[in-house]
Structure formats: C-alpha cells, structure tokens
Structure 1
C-alpha cells in the first residue's frame, strides 16, 4: 500500500523548496572512490532546469554523512561524550549499552594520543576477555577496526609491542572458545567472518613476533652514556616490572641496577599495600627480604596499581562519560561536555578501564 499522509513528500528522497514548489534532489558522484568529492546537480524533474551545487549545500552534507556512516571507520559523532543511562524513564526509553558507548566515544582519535594509548589498549583487553559478545554488530566492527589501527601503529612506531601481544593473545583465546560454541548463538554474524577475523589476529601475532626494534642512532648522548646515578634514577621512574627487566638485559650496568633490592621494594610499595607484605614474606638465605620475588608473588594474587597519562572522565552531576581535553579546559574552561553544575571540576571523576566496564553492567 502506498504511503499516504499530510506530508506527500517521500521520506526516501531529498527535497528542496523553490518558488515553483518542492523539487526533488538527485545526486551524481564522479570518481568517488579516488578523491571522495561530490559533483552535485539539482535537476528540475519537469523542465530539466539545472541548479548550481551551492543551492543544495544542506542536501550534500546529508548525503556525505550517509556515505561516511556506511564506511569501515568508526561512526562519526560531533560530541565526544555519552549520557550513561542505567534505567528507563519517561524522558528517555531504553538503556545505555556498552556497544553504544563504544560507538559514541572517539577511541579512534584516542589511540593517536600517546597519553591515552595504553588506556585504550587495556580497555580493549578487558572487552576481549569477557565483554566481546555483549557488543552490538556495529560496535564489534568498530572494535576490530580500532584494533587494526593499533597494530598498524605499533608496527610502524614500534611502541609498546608487548602490551599489544597480550591483547591479541587474550582476544585469540576468547575467539577460539566462542567459535566452538557457535551453535549457542554467542556470535553476531556469519561464522566465516569470525574465522577470517581469527586468522587475521593470528597473522598480526606473527608480525609482532617477527618485529625487530631498530635503534635510532644519532650523534647525541645515549642512555649508556649517562652517569650511573642518572640511569638508576630513570629506573626508579618505571612502574612496569617487565620494563625494568627488559631494560636490564641491554647492558651489564643496567642489569646490576635492575637487580637493586631497594628498587623492587619501592615497586612493591607503589603497587601493593604494606599489610600484604607480611602475608607473603619471602626471605633469602642471608635473611634479607627478596623484594623482586615478592613482587611477582603478590602479582599473582592482587591487582597492580594502574597508571595512565589520560583517562575517560565521569561527571557525577550529569552522569556523562567523556574525554576531557586538558588544553581546552585550561584555555576556555571547557569541561568537555555540557555540564550544568556550578563547579564542573568538582564533579569529575577519572574512570579506570575496569570501572568503564562496570558502568554498563546492569
């Protein structure tokens, strides 16, 4: 049955009001795949009168947005925040899901910021372990697109490949389990698509295993040229135990510094509370505390302290989750979202990756 109503214009077309009445817009695209530029013409269906592209700017923007939404990249939203709705109300029906948050928040741009890179990778790792099936189909596609960008960035910049190897290992293990249980409808989409994704992940793992770190040699000073006390001071700034161990394998001097008992003692105090030391006290043959062995023992039972350069923030007043731009916040006093509080800074709370997952557990 044809659509009949007060508005006789078909909702599937774009229309423009002229002096002679409403005219339908038709778009023509030349060489879209090469330069992604639109050559638009507005045709009068009665007398074939041609209009200039300036007469249908709004229609061109709408067409461009539709083309962008069907692309492989993450969906585009002007706002980089999302309202976390945990219950259905009269003003807003439905719930805010993890997949919706994954589509709305700008993770594609966040991984280009070195301060947010580790945060996004850790978040993807938590999703891969337990929340992959809770994502919608569009969110799963965005997930793998972001992961592809991360792997390409690591292969190009050689930045923190160990962290990406752990992410891919957890993701491949999860997919192997889910593919076996495909009869229970735990995956969205065709099984062949997921098998292809798993093969791609295995290929990425192989590329990262074959990755060779190319040192950038120059005429300036290197780490080994610094005095020993400065090298030791640099090691004390590390919060990752494996970074200390890997750096200690480069030179004999750094190896001696990486085995310092006081260094591992400070690392234990940073990640764990002192009341846990008595429960897992490990002594050497000389009666001294083996702080290095204690650290890896405590690591098995208790979570480490997480440290990130920048994280997502949650406004307790507005219940909004968003990325905060520190430069805009200082220059224009912009909180990063339309906050109605008198003092927006007092309502902000940094969100850890695990807290982000917990926000969408109902």
Structure 2
C-alpha cells in the first residue's frame, strides 16, 4: 500500500477540537506558537502524562452530538460531480479492473444540473423515487449524501417555481416510508450513524410540511389567458396529457375546461395509449345508460398495470462504447457533439434511451 502523507517517523500532528470539528494545529515536535491566538473561549488545554497538550471542548450531550452529525452531512456543504458520461463496465478485464456501481454512477453523472432542465426534471425525480423504494441501501455513503443533495435542490426548486409538487410529494412519501422501515430494523442496514438518518428523516418530514402548506401564487396577466383560447385549442391541450390526474387538475380551473376534461373520447384515447385492448377489455365499467365509462376504466387499469412513462429527455446509452451519458442537443446541432467520445462510424444509430428502471437494471450484477 503506498504511503501518502508526511514521514511516518515524525511524531504526527496536533489536533484541536472546535465547533466545526477536529482541525490540524501543527507538528507535535515544533514549539507552540502564540497560544492566545489559537485558543477559543470554548477550548480547554489538558495536560497528559507525557506532557503533551491537546485541546478539547466540554462533554457534549447526546442531542448536541446529533446536531454535529447532521452538520457533517449538511446538504449545503457537499460537492457535486459534473461529468456528462461514464463507462459502464460490469466485470474485470485485462485492460480494466473493477466494475461500475449504481452509487458511482449516481455520484459521477451530473444530476444536480439535470434538474434545472425542465425536460429532465421528471426523469430525475422518477429515478430518485425508484432508488428510494428499493436501492437506497445499495448506495455508498458518498452516493447517499449526493442523493440528499439532489433531493434538497429539487425541493427548493419546487418551493420556488411551484413546478409539479405532486410528483415530489410522492417521492418524499416513498422515501420516508423506506427510512421508517430501515431505521426501525436497525442501523446495520444503512451506511452511517443512525443519528444521521434520524436527522435526515426529520428533514424529510419538514419538506413534506412545507410542500403541504405550499400556496400557488395567482399570476396577474393583462394579455391572453388560457380561458381566451378557442375550444379546439383547449381540447388539443388536454389530448397532449399522458397522466389522467393532470387532466382532472386542469379541469378544475374553469367550467369550460371541466366539460372538456369529461369527454369520453379523451379518456378512451388515454386508455388506448397506455394499455392494450386485451387489458382494458377485462376491466370494462358501464354507466347507467350502458356506455363504457372510460374515465373509471383508466383508473381501474392504472391499479393493475403500469402506465407508459413519458419524459422530455433521458440519459442515453451507447451500445458500441458501453457509455452512459447526457446528450446536449444544442451542442449536437452546433458542433456535432455526440455527448461522449464515441468511436462508431454512425454514433446516432448506437444510442438508446434509458428509462429510470433501465438505469437501475444496468447495475444489477
């Protein structure tokens, strides 16, 4: 094992304990400098049997220790990796040893910038939700810190922009349920001190309270509003939605939108988009007049079968290079950038979109 640091024969370093943690003071063998400039009002000198002086604070209570653990894992003091691509290798070869894990991929890919792009926002949130349900314990300690860093930025963005709060509420609900189970079973299932996870759980509960108290600000506009659009355009907007809950929410804005949101053909096309004919034929629900209630059929099918996922932009995987990357379409048009150092003759034919579940499956060995 290579030696990194000062000469092992030296007496070492003197450390002092401050409110921000332990900090190096200087070599033990050197003469002490001006003690008055180094001592804090909260630091006391203790003389040991070997006449060496070390500095420590008063004994802290258990509650203060929890605050200290939480400070060391403060989400605002962490660093984000800003790589656009990573090589996904699942086994050792003569040229490369080791393999890429889910935690390493989550650390190295630039998820903190991806949430600022509205096309990638829902994709990252869905990925975090899947990790919270089943893969949280497989992350390393650094990856778990980075996970909560990204989550903190997501909550801050939602509180500021009021963008899709329902999606974040579902994520926090799944995460809090997972942490409650893991913390009750014992700290052996989690990386790090149990006090850290208790503080994180308290933070999640605080975020949930902030989102539940979120009030949508009414925007004052003197120009054209949604209600001023023709009925054909409003109907076209409703047909663009792929989530039935969004259709119901928009229908609550005005009476006109409510009538359009109850259109049977709208819900029929939504059922045909997400489910096969064999699936919804098994769950047909009829009205009193004998017609099919496609709205009720949709929500009944949603409980039994997964719906199609739709994202503005996703991670890409190059089958030729085995590289996972974010593709910047602006650079691709201007500079013909493929997003990663690809060696294929036709790189675009090697790219495949990676769904959140596919991203997790890439690292299952």
Return structure 1 stretches of 4+ with deviation > 4 angstroms: none
Instruction: Give, in angstroms, the shift of residue 229 of structure 1.
Output: 2.4
Normalised to the residue count of structure 2, the TM-score between the two structures is 0.79
Q: For residue 28 of structure 1, what is the aligned residue in structure 2?
A: none
Contact 2:80/2:112 (8 A) holds in 1: no
Contact 1:119/1:310 (8 A) holds in 2: yes
Q: Give, in whole Å, the separation in 1 of the partners of 2:306 and 2:253.
A: 28
Q: Give, in whole Å, the separation in 2 of the partners of 1:76 and 1:302.
A: 37
In the alignment, is residue 353 of structure 1 matched against residue 356 of structure 2? yes
In the alignment, is residue 230 of structure 1 matched against residue 233 of structure 2? yes
SS in 2 for 1:211: coil
Q: Give, in whole Å, the separation in 2 of the partners of 1:75 and 1:222.
A: 40
In the alignment, is residue 288 of structure 1 matched against residue 286 of structure 2? no
In the alignment, is residue 334 of structure 1 matched against residue 358 of structure 2? no
Q: Give, in whole Å, the separation in 2 of the partners of 1:203 and 1:71.
A: 16
In the alignment, is residue 197 of structure 1 matched against residue 200 of structure 2? yes
Contact 2:91/2:99 (8 A) holds in 1: yes
Q: Please list the CA deviations of residues 12-45 of structure 1 after superposition, one character each: whole Å capped at 9, or x if unmatched.
A: 48xxxxxxxxxxxxxxxxxxxxxxxxxxxxxxxx
Contact 1:81/1:105 (8 A) holds in 2: yes
Q: For residue 315 of structure 2, what is the aligned residue in structure 1?
A: 312
SS in 2 for 1:314: strand
Instruction: Give, in angstroms, the shift of residue 88 of structure 1.
Output: 1.7
Q: Give, in whole Å, the separation in 2 of the partners of 1:72 and 1:346.
A: 41
In the alignment, is residue 126 of structure 1 matched against residue 133 of structure 2? no
Instruction: Give, in angstroms, the shift of residue 260 of structure 1.
Output: 0.6
In the alignment, is residue 149 of structure 1 matched against residue 160 of structure 2? no
Residue number among 131, 140, 143 corresponding to 1:139 in the alignment: 143
In the alignment, is residue 73 of structure 1 matched against residue 75 of structure 2? no
Contact 1:102/1:139 (8 A) holds in 2: yes
Q: Give, in whole Å, the separation in 1 of the partners of 2:189 and 2:270.
A: 41
Question: Which segments of 5 or more consecutive residues in structure 1 lack a partner in the other structure?
Answer: 14-69
Q: Give, in whole Å, the separation in 2 of the partners of 1:123 and 1:302.
A: 19
Q: For residue 176 of structure 1, what is the aligned residue in structure 2?
A: 180
Q: Give, in whole Å, the separation in 2 of the partners of 1:73 and 1:231.
A: 45
Normalised to the residue count of structure 1, the TM-score between the two structures is 0.79
- 1:1-362, aligned counterparts within 5 Å? 11-12=4-5, 72-77=77-82, 79-183=83-187, 185-362=188-365
Contact 1:126/1:354 (8 A) holds in 2: yes
Q: For residue 65 of structure 1, what is the aligned residue in structure 2?
A: none
Contact 2:119/2:311 (8 A) holds in 1: yes
Contact 1:74/1:108 (8 A) holds in 2: no
Q: Give, in whole Å, the separation in 2 of the partners of 1:12 and 1:247.
A: 62
Q: Give, in whole Å, the separation in 2 of the partners of 1:115 and 1:124.
A: 16
Contact 1:74/1:103 (8 A) holds in 2: no
Instruction: Give, in angstroms, the shift of residue 360 of structure 1.
Output: 0.6
Q: Give, in whole Å, the separation in 2 of the partners of 1:96 and 1:244.
A: 41
Give the total of aligned pairs.
Answer: 297
SS in 2 for 1:277: helix
Q: Give, in whole Å, the separation in 2 of the partners of 1:124 and 1:144.
A: 10
Q: Please list the CA deviations of residues 262-318 of structure 1 after superposition, one character each: whole Å capped at 9, or x if unmatched.
A: 000111111112221212122222121110011011101111111101000000000
Q: Please list the CA deviations of residues 96-127 of structure 1 after superposition, one character each: whole Å capped at 9, or x if unmatched.
A: 10000001100000000001000000000000
Q: Give, in whole Å, the separation in 2 of the partners of 1:74 and 1:133.
A: 21
Q: Give, in whole Å, the separation in 2 of the partners of 1:182 and 1:72.
A: 27
Contact 1:128/1:174 (8 A) holds in 2: yes
SS in 1 for 2:77: coil
Question: Which segments of 5 or more consecutive residues in structure 2 lack a partner in the other structure?
Answer: 7-74
Q: Give, in whole Å, the separation in 1 of the partners of 2:255 and 2:78.
A: 47
Instruction: Give, in angstroms, the shift of residue 11 of structure 1.
Output: 4.8
